[in-house]
Amino acid sequence: MKLFRGFLTLLITLICTLQWSSLAFNSKKSYIVYLGGHNNGLEASKIKESHFEFLHSIVGSKVSVDEAMIYSYDKHINGFSAILDEDAAAKLADHPDVVSVFPNKGLKLHTTHSWDFLKLESNGVIDSSSLWRKARFGTNIIIANLDTGVWPESQSFSDDGYGPIPSKWKGGCENQTSVACNNKLIGAKYFNKGYMALYGALSTSMNNARDHEGHGSHTLSTAGGNFVSGVSINGIGIGTAKGGSPRARVASYKVCWPQTITGGECTEADILKGFDVAIEDGVDVLSVSLGAPPSDYFQDAIAIASFHAIAKGITVVFSAGNDGPAPGTVTNVAPWMITVGASTIDREFQAFVELRSGPRLKGLSLSKALPADRLYPLLNAADAKAADASMTNAMLCKEGSLDPNKVYGKILVCLRGGNGRVEKGKVALLAGASGMILCNDKSSGNEIIADPHFLPATHITYADGLRLYAYLSSTNDPLGYITHPAPVVNIKPAPSMAAFSSRGPNIITPGILKPDITAPGVNIVAAFTQDSKSDIPYNIESGTSMSCPHVSGVVGLLKNVHPDWSPAAIKSALMTTANSRDNEGEPMMDASKSEANPFSRGAGDICPNRAVDPGLVYDLSVNDYLDFLCASGYNQTLLQKFSGYPYECPESNYNAILDLNYPSITVHKLSGTVNVTRKLKNVDKPGIYLVRVRSPVGISVDVEPKVLNFQKQGEVKKFQLTVKADGTKVIKGYVFGELIWTDGKHQVKSPIVVSVA
Ligand SMILES: *[C@@H]1O[C@H](CO)[C@@H](O)[C@H](O)[C@H]1NC(C)=O
Ligand SMILES: *[C@@H]1O[C@H](CO)[C@@H](O)[C@H](O)[C@H]1NC(C)=O
Ligand SMILES: *[C@@H]1O[C@H](CO)[C@@H](O)[C@H](O)[C@H]1NC(C)=O
């Protein structure tokens, strides 16, 4: 969401960055020095001291240590961030106590009817089978996000009817004057030293957890916002806004700041601190809608921090990224994370283009109505080109490319691409347009988005755009109208995958399927910011940023019903009960209208009412993840530091990637015959489960045993898959199948992904 970030801020950031790097720190950069887990039982102040002493031993002078240190991570994550020259960084990296040293990188944010669609309610009625009732709407679960802060005055965070804060909570609001905590919003803290070290100084007026952007309030209220009725945007009724765990307590850890010219807005140094503090404060669920291209697990602050969180039983949910539909774009790929793609829901905000003659074109919009009920002159923006502008820029409605004399009073037709969708509307409005029709370019195809534009506007598909451009060139006096947007539900087919949702395969560990799951992430309504720049209490946004907190909210519900489930058991329940079919009973589609495969949808769309009762789960312990890391090539010495306790790698002949007890099955580069083992744990009454396999094309998958007879709750049973090419077909690329265990009542489903060497 780039709309409300001013250009001025970017310019200031640019200037500050230049000064900062050229004057203040010649050839110095900010680094993370990661020392692993804590195993020495030192109290926090001693740990901090030890970090200063350690850095002192490397850089020499005491004064320079105080200047260099950014943060000491002294609670659950062991390490520090500091501004260092390359020599010092190299020395630290060679030190035996150090796990890894890596530059502090910048990350980007992955920019309500949805709960009805997920069957937690039905036409506003919440029946007894709803997980909302079973889970008491998430009462007393603490859900936090790491994001752009929070708008504390939003009704989504009001504490009407909330009792005292759960006694285990150690957090709070850092500054009650800037962000006031209540019994609903129970924490708000901010971290910006890492941002300033990388991008330059922020004004001191920014030193608070207030959300000037909207993204953080949107994601936090999607996960845990109150029921707020009568929400509308630009006069269009939306209904009741609410989060996945509407009665949860929420906390905000602000780690993201104004977007910089490189697009970075959050940094690893701040995120590590946010995690360290949130774990200590006692959160139950962490929702993180940001990321960077994935890197080695020990050069990746998010992978490191989330490992320490799950080791404390906290479930950590991440967005998959918005770099789809290209393959290999999925980020946040460690197996201990839940990685969430974005899909559509069955509601649209439709605003039609009506032409004096010709077809009626369906568009999507959340804009205001046109002032008068009459036909308006239409104008191709290319024909409104300013004298000194290029035709391409004019067609795209870029800033400074339009001639106001030509645009005034017309509905301007702009092409998608090149600049932001909403920015185009702003440019059109400033040039005097009465309205805007945004046409998809070829690469965006059918993907249209309901944006709250600055002027009456709608957004149409590529095919309809071609029809519109044809009409414009067919007449000297083109006239048209944009109808006022109206919500329409029961849209079919839904869900389908959003084109922007990042896709697998996982480029760090191809043997683990990512994303894990998908959730609503297109046209999601949630709380926003009433900062002076954007006085919108509720706003509609799209992105995996929006789908991630849907899962976080549902995790809150699952934790209330099953407080004893591990983060891996929760993930398994979500994945094995997910829906890979749409509301017409057909396999879920991609935006391109081809069948969505596990690289886009993971296991499928979350199904909360089923996830609470999965029958069986694929559970995992922290040691299983360490075994996985051994198999990935990290040695025992390093992993002992990482975990903070004595640990031994398994025997070398054990394949801990293939056999990681993950709820999906990936055989990467199959050659000959491969055996895969899994263990299922019964979390329900005794039951007899039979196996069913939908084998990938050209692959035979044999399962032994074919029946699992669970005689009591908690019992664990092992099975083995034997996977080999069946010789019927030459296999290229990836092929997909499904494994299902069923007792008649439950279906425990896992995607199967195979590539051949
Ligand atoms: C707390 O916030 C207020 C209002 O933004 C500000 O004036 C004050 O300086 C802040 N206090 C601290 C200790 O940062
Ligand atoms: C373990 O790995 C680290 C980091 O790659 C390396 O520095 C160290 O020498 C290795 N130790 C052993 C015992 O192989
Ligand atoms: C797979 O398992 C079967 C049965 O347990 C065993 O006979 C076979 O040797 C195994 N194959 C491989 C490649 O490990």
Per-residue pLDDT of 525-573, as tens digits, reads 899 988 766 667 888 888 999 999 999 999 999 999 999 999 999 999 9
- How do beta strands 348-355 and 479-482 pair? antiparallel
Amino acid at 92: L
CA of 154 to the centre of ligand 1 (A): 20
List all residues whose CB is within 6 A of at least one atom of ligand 1: 175, 177-178, 207-208
One-letter-per-residue 3-state SS of 670-711: ECCEEEEEEEEEECCCCEEEEEEEECCCCEEEEEECCEEEEC
Helix, strand, coil shares of the chain as percentages rounded to 5? 25, 30, 45
CA of 225 to the centre of ligand 2 (A): 46
Cβ neighbours, 10 Å, residue 743? 20
User: Residue 420: pLDDT band by 50, 70, 90 thresholds?
Assistant: confident
Q: Which of 181-190, 213-222, 521-530 has the lowest mean pLDDT?
A: 521-530
Active site residue 215: yes
Long-range contacts of range 292-296, CB-CB < 8 Å, 24 or more positions apart? 292/105, 292/106, 292/107, 292/108, 292/331, 293/331, 294/330, 294/331, 294/332, 294/333, 294/506, 294/507, 294/508, 295/102, 295/508, 296/508
Distance CA 744, CA 160 (A): 44
Ligand 3 binding pocket includes 677 (Cβ within 6 Å): no
pLDDT in tens, 592-650: 788 999 999 999 999 999 999 999 999 999 999 999 999 999 999 999 999 998 999 99
Distance CA 680, CA 620 (A): 10
Q: For residue 485, what are its two tokens?
A: 């947007």
Q: How far is CA 711 from CA 615, 686, 689, in A?
A: 13, 5, 11
What single string gives the DSSP state of each residue in 80-126? EEEEE-HHHHHHHHHSTT-SEEEE--EEEE----HHHHTTSSBTTB-
The pLDDT mean for the chain works out to 91
Cβ neighbours, 10 Å, residue 127? 12
Say if residue 1's pLDDT is above 80: no
CB-based contacts of 269, cutoff 8 Å, min separation 6: 30, 32, 70, 71, 81, 104, 193, 194, 197, 198, 301
CA dihedral 561, 562, 566, 572 (to 10 degrees): -70
Return the higher-pLDDT residue of 547 and 123.
547
Query: Which atom of ligand 2 is least distant from the CA of 100?
Result: 4
Say if residue 124's pLDDT is above 80: no
Q: What is the mean pLDDT of residues 13-29?
A: 48
| Residue 274 three-state SS | helix
**Ligand 1 atom 5: the closest Cα is on which residue?**
178
Counting residues of the chain whose pLDDT is more than 90, the rounded percentage is 78
* CA 488 to mean position of chain CA atoms: 26
Ligand 3 binding pocket includes 655 (Cβ within 6 Å): no
CB-based contacts of 657, cutoff 8 Å, min separation 6: 509, 511, 512, 628, 631, 632
Q: What is the pLDDT of residue 24?
A: 42
User: Residue 381: pLDDT band by 50, 70, 90 thresholds?
Assistant: very high
CA of 209 to the centre of ligand 1 (A): 11
**Ligand 2 atom 10: the closest Cα is on which residue?**
635
Find the radius of gyration of the CA atoms of the chain: 26
Residue among 659, 675, 720, 724 to mutate when testing ligand 3 (max atoms within 8 A of CB):
675
**Ligand 3 atom 2: the closest Cα is on which residue?**
675
Amino acid at 125: V
Counting residues of the chain whose pLDDT is more than 70, the rounded percentage is 93
Which ligand is closest to the CA of 638, given by its number? 2
φ/ψ (deg, to 5) at 266:
-135, 150
Closest CA to 738 of 590, 594, 595: 595
- The overall pTM is greater than 0.75: yes
Taking a C-beta distance cutoff of 8 angstroms, is the pair 288, 315 a contact? no
| Residue 285 three-state SS | strand
CA of 10 to the centre of ligand 3 (A): 60
Taking a C-beta distance cutoff of 8 angstroms, is the pair 157, 527 a contact? yes
Taking a C-beta distance cutoff of 8 angstroms, is the pair 266, 107 a contact? yes
pLDDT in tens, 701-739: 999 999 999 999 999 999 999 999 998 888 889 999 999
**Ligand 1 atom 10: the closest Cα is on which residue?**
175
Cβ neighbours, 10 Å, residue 174? 18
Residue among 632, 635, 642, 647 to mutate when testing ligand 2 (max atoms within 8 A of CB):
635
CB-based contacts of 717, cutoff 8 Å, min separation 6: 679, 680, 682, 708, 710
Closest CA to 190 of 149, 156, 151: 149
CA of 649 to the centre of ligand 2 (A): 13
Amino acid at 725: A
Q: For residue 716, what are its two tokens?
A: 């664990």
CA of 206 to the centre of ligand 1 (A): 10
Ligand 3 binding pocket includes 64 (Cβ within 6 Å): no
φ/ψ (deg, to 5) at 673:
-110, 135
pLDDT in tens, 686-696: 999 999 999 99
| Core vs surface per residue 597-628: b (16+ CB within 10 A) or e | bbbbbbbbbbbbbbbbbbbbbbbbebebbbbb
What is the spatial order of strands in the sheet that 616-617 belongs to?
616-617, 673-682, 716-725, 699-704
Query: Which atom of ligand 1 is least distant from the CA of 175?
Result: 1
pLDDT in tens, 428-445: 999 999 999 999 998 888
Closest CA to 81 of 71, 91, 67: 71
**Ligand 2 atom 4: the closest Cα is on which residue?**
638
Cβ neighbours, 10 Å, residue 232? 13
From the candidates 130, 156, 217, 545, give the one annotated as an active-site residue. Answer: 545
Distance CA 621, CA 629 (A): 13
Amino acid at 415: L
From the candidates 38, 51, 215, 746, give the one annotated as an active-site residue. Answer: 215
Query: Which atom of ligand 3 is least distant from the CA of 674?
Result: 13
Distance CA 603, CA 580 (A): 7
Q: What is the mean pLDDT of residues 666-681?
A: 96
Helices (H) and strands (E) in the chain, counts: 20, 35
Which ligand is closest to the CA of 180, given by its number? 1
User: Residue 234: pLDDT band by 50, 70, 90 thresholds?
Assistant: confident
CA of 675 to the centre of ligand 3 (A): 6
From the candidates 74, 76, 110, 147, give the one annotated as an active-site residue. Answer: 147
User: Residue 60: pLDDT band by 50, 70, 90 thresholds?
Assistant: confident
CA of 673 to the centre of ligand 3 (A): 8
Say if residue 12's pLDDT is above 70: no
* Helix locations, 203-317, DSSP H: 215-224, 268-281, 301-311
**Ligand 3 atom 8: the closest Cα is on which residue?**
675
